[in-house]
Structure 1
Amino acid sequence: MRFKPSRGLSTPKASRPTEATTEKSADDIPFDRRRHEAEIRRAENLAAGLPEDTQEVQDEPPTTGRDQRFRSPDIGRTEESPEAESEPEAPARRAPSRAPKSLLDRARSAVKEVAKKVRELIAPEDKSSVEVIINAEPLETRVAVLVESRLDDFTVERTNTERLVGSVYKGKVKNLEDGLKAAFVDIGFDKNAFLHYWDIIPNSFDSSVEVVEREDRKRKRKEGPAITARDVPRLYPVGSDIIVQVTKGPIGTKGPRVTTNLSLPGRYLVLLPNSEQCGISRKIEDPSERQRLKKILRELTLPDGMGVIIRTAGEGKLRRYFIRDVALLLEEWKAVQAKIQNDRAPSCVFQEPDLIERTVRDFLTEDVSRIIIDDNHQFLRVRDLIGRISQRSAKKIVFYNEAEPLFDRYNVSRQLEQAFGRQVTLKGGGYLIIDETEALVAIDVNTGRHKGSRDHDQNLLKVNLEAADEICRQLRLRNMGGIIVLDFIDMKSRKDQQVLYQRMKHHLKRDRAKTHVLPLSQLGLMEMTRQR
């Protein structure tokens, strides 16, 4: 049997009409993030007067908490979403399934039950109570997330620091460098923003989002060539206004990095004002749930030229939640458009919400029992903000008005001091050694004084699983990024190695930063990367 291409062995491709030339050059190649990221980094370094292969290093690495760098909208949150209505949701409960009618149905039901038990064994459902502690001071705001009274996440933000990253600006093109394939945009700061041509061209989703086709978009799809890097000087000449969103703040001699691919994150959706693409987070794994959400996505009423992405928080939610979220996001975008029309460049037309508002948006979930705030003004503000979504959730907001500091009362200060040492002790007696270098982060796992059963292999697996849980927690607390090498205790069983690998993948799903982890190598090392 011989392979035959679908279009025949020698059938030439039909030529499509183009505006300029018919020859394909490097400027005409469609954007590919993985392929062109190195090119963008090289051009950014040359523009800043640095060597081409210079790696980015923070001027002042944070000693506590995570820095507030912009990441692509937080699509992959694994927590459940808050109640969105005051009335109970009867449709959210699943009706008892009917008995299978055929042998095939019985087999499918049995397979689903087995798969469910395997998932529970590898990644047991976390039903722990969660408390969010917000300490609002005149100079800074600190947010700590406690899971069963144990520090799980910590963020700090200075009140006098402008929230540059994630904000949208109306800028003016100051210069075009065709050699670097970059434009320099004045957005009102000392250094012009760096805008690579690949960040101007509409790009496709990355691997974390599945594209969902809508019938109305198929019918309205225009025939003709897509925008390429060659078209950028014609579309955005020097002196023209351009709307950009900051994706990375200034570092050293580099100015801010911006893009024209705007995104406004909501509670359940992410609005893409300049893209017609729609998608759904791949972290929603249930096939039947994905099909239900795809159907809802195709039925949503969206303006021409706009798209949305369903976040993981939308899993299990009814259609009206998404309709409401679309309405809120469109109202927000309408206000942005009004500023674009009225304000002169350079100016900020949309500012990223502050830490407290982002916390309410991303952390208020069904498993959150309380949100405790020690500032009365912020308490009233958060209660009003949550009250727009759910009156029941507003009851979770608690005002703390005692003499003892809030972080001392809930043992957060002590846990912060213990969390950033080189050696981290595990509950079972083992410990971690964390060494951060310029090239990578090395984490070594040791048994220490761990005492377990007589089964040596089970003891090693238990220590490694406990270490995996703590490592994922430390990555979030310290905001460690780049290349990370994990030296777990050697295990001979391939089954135990796979269980450890799946445990790491499960806990990394909670991380808001993009991560990529590989199975244990032949040397017994687990390698991973985490976005800075």
Structure 2
Amino acid sequence: MKADYIITNYNSVTSAFLMEEGRLVKACPLYNGSILGNLYIAKVVNIVKSINAAFLDAGTGDYLYYPIADNQGKEIFTKHGNSTKLCEGDEILIQISKEPIKTKKGEATSNICIKGSSIIINRSGEIGVSGKICDEEKRNELKETLRKVIDKYSDIHAGAIIRTAADKIDIKQVVDEAETILCKLKTMIEQSAYMNSRKLVYKVENRYLDYIKDIIVRQKYDDFSIVTDIEDIFDDIKQMTSNLEIGGTFSAEKNILIKLFSDNMTTPSQVYDIKSKLEKGMAKTIYLKSGGSIVVEPTEAMTVIDVNTGKAIRGKNTENTFLKINKEAAEMIARILRLRNLSGIIIIDFINMKQSENVRELVEHLKREIAKDEIKVNYVDMTSLGLVELTRKKESHPLTLNDFR
């Protein structure tokens, strides 16, 4: 598959756009307002026993929700009273696990998690391996080798999740990355003991670099181009890729092109037709090539998506027509979830089909499409009314056109 990752100033907002085979599947404003993944020293301002949760002040502008049961025994206190439990006035090191979304407060956790290209370091005390690494011998070798490294950091309850990318690189590279992240995490924990509350300890920067690195290491695309007309960003990408090794090499044979766009007569936005593709993907009603359409209705509780036949009913074989529209709609819906960053509960009302084999074919097609998402999407069920239920993990707020203005 061919993909292009474009970073440019769109409507004066520095943004990144991912195209797969010319279709826009991901858009992200690169402003510095995100606090997801940042580490802070937070003060416990209130404990609500009825919901077994605390509310913390980390200086982020609003209180953070902190589920006590999920973090029991994992707290990293920088200031603590005499009680064995979490108390009001205590100060702890936390990480932002969920950003504030609409009326919901942001969420904090003590299970600090730092992502690398091939490994995720956390404080679970356990080692997990991606289910996509199928070679049992490789899985066991990775776990045994990493266990020796993790055990050296038992004082911070270190754990790890070995990512899919680890299957494509040498184990030594995975170990080296784990050592680097573990050392960084231990240093931050030790230094936090001398910091005041409402203090930023660690900020996730240049998220686009992590995203690019992840794509390259996982070798997700056969042909991958990175295009930008911003010189500072181009230099950052070149610096990152020059330090990156994939199985000992990083070269043209990987079909990766990094290009500084320098045409004074046009812009990357115009060349890749970003405006029309973004507006179409963000529209309430999206028209399909088959003649059907889908209507996207975000609500406070869930996102509802309706698939309509429109002008597509031609001839006598309506069942095949319905299947064709539904499958095209499934592909578009999977792209919309990524593009708009929709999360939580998603209900899809596909066109009703009478033949059970067509329903099964549609469901399998939808599962294949949502599996392409970087964020976990669960197919839950199809109800007796024919409504498909999905859930998508919440990480940050959903996007609209206003985020790019």
Q: TM-score, normalised by structure 2?
A: 0.80
Report how far residue 382 of structure 1 moved: 1.2
- The answer as to whether partners of 2:26 and 2:338 remain within 8 angstroms in 1 is yes
- The answer as to whether partners of 2:133 and 2:139 remain within 8 angstroms in 1 is no
- The answer as to whether partners of 1:171 and 1:187 remain within 8 angstroms in 2 is yes
Distance 1:310 1:528 in 2: 26
Report how far residue 313 of structure 1 moved: 3.2
Report how far residue 453 of structure 1 moved: 9.2
1:428-463 Cα distance to aligned partner (Å, 9 max, x none)? 332222233444433222334448998654443222
Distance 1:139 1:194 in 2: 34
RMSD across aligned positions (CA): 3.1
Distance 2:320 2:103 in 1: 52
Equivalent residues, number? 372
The reply to whether residue 278 of structure 1 matches residue 127 of structure 2 is: yes
Larger RCO (CA within 8 A; separation ≥ 6): 1
1:413-492 matched pairs, under 5 angstroms: 413-450=275-312, 456-492=318-354
Query: Secondary structure of 2:384's match?
Result: coil
In structure 2, what is the equivalent of residue 150 of structure 1? 23
Distance 1:432 1:467 in 2: 7
The reply to whether residue 389 of structure 1 matches residue 238 of structure 2 is: no
- The answer as to whether partners of 2:133 and 2:164 remain within 8 angstroms in 1 is no
> One-letter code of the match for 2:307?
V
Mark the CA change 1:170 to 1:502 in structure 2 (over 3 Å): closer, same or farther. same
* Runs of 4+ off more than 6 Å: 451-454
In structure 1, what is the equivalent of residue 235 of structure 2? 380
Mark the CA change 1:150 to 1:180 in structure 2 (over 3 Å): closer, same or farther. closer
In structure 2, what is the equivalent of residue 68 of structure 1? none
> One-letter code of the match for 1:363?
I
- The answer as to whether partners of 2:305 and 2:348 remain within 8 angstroms in 1 is yes
Mark the CA change 1:440 to 1:346 in structure 2 (over 3 Å): closer, same or farther. closer
Distance 1:402 1:232 in 2: 65
1:127-526 matched pairs, under 5 angstroms: 128-136=1-9, 140-159=13-32, 161=33, 163-201=34-72, 233-250=83-100, 256-272=106-122, 274-282=123-131, 284=132, 286=134, 289-300=135-146, 301-302=149-150, 303=152, 304=154, 305-337=157-189, 339-364=191-216, 365-366=218-219, 367=221, 368-390=223-245, 391-392=250-251, 396-403=257-264, 404-450=266-312, 456-526=318-388
Report how far residue 145 of structure 1 moved: 0.6
Query: Secondary structure of 1:158's match?
Result: coil
1:222-265 Cα distance to aligned partner (Å, 9 max, x none)? xxxxxxxxx99515444443211112334677654211111111
Report how far residue 324 of structure 1 moved: 2.9
- The answer as to whether partners of 2:224 and 2:256 remain within 8 angstroms in 1 is no
Query: Secondary structure of 1:267's match?
Result: coil
Distance 2:194 2:10 in 1: 35
Mark the CA change 1:169 to 1:332 in structure 2 (over 3 Å): closer, same or farther. same
Mark the CA change 1:437 to 1:348 in structure 2 (over 3 Å): closer, same or farther. closer
> One-letter code of the match for 1:384?
Q
Query: Secondary structure of 2:84's match?
Result: helix
Report how far residue 467 of structure 1 moved: 1.2
In structure 2, what is the equivalent of residue 78 of structure 1? none
The percent identity for this pair of structures is 25
Query: Secondary structure of 1:385's match?
Result: helix
Report how far residue 329 of structure 1 moved: 1.7
> One-letter code of the match for 2:17?
A
Which structure carries more strand by proportion?
2
Q: Mind listing any 5+ residue stretches in structure 1 that lack a counterpart?
A: 1-127, 204-230
Report how far residue 152 of structure 1 moved: 1.3
- The answer as to whether partners of 1:430 and 1:446 remain within 8 angstroms in 2 is yes
Distance 2:384 2:55 in 1: 47
In structure 2, what is the equivalent of residue 109 of structure 1? none
Q: Mind listing any 5+ residue stretches in structure 2 that lack a counterpart?
A: 75-80, 395-405
Task: Give the greater-gyration-radius structure (CA).
Answer: 1
Distance 1:232 1:402 in 2: 65
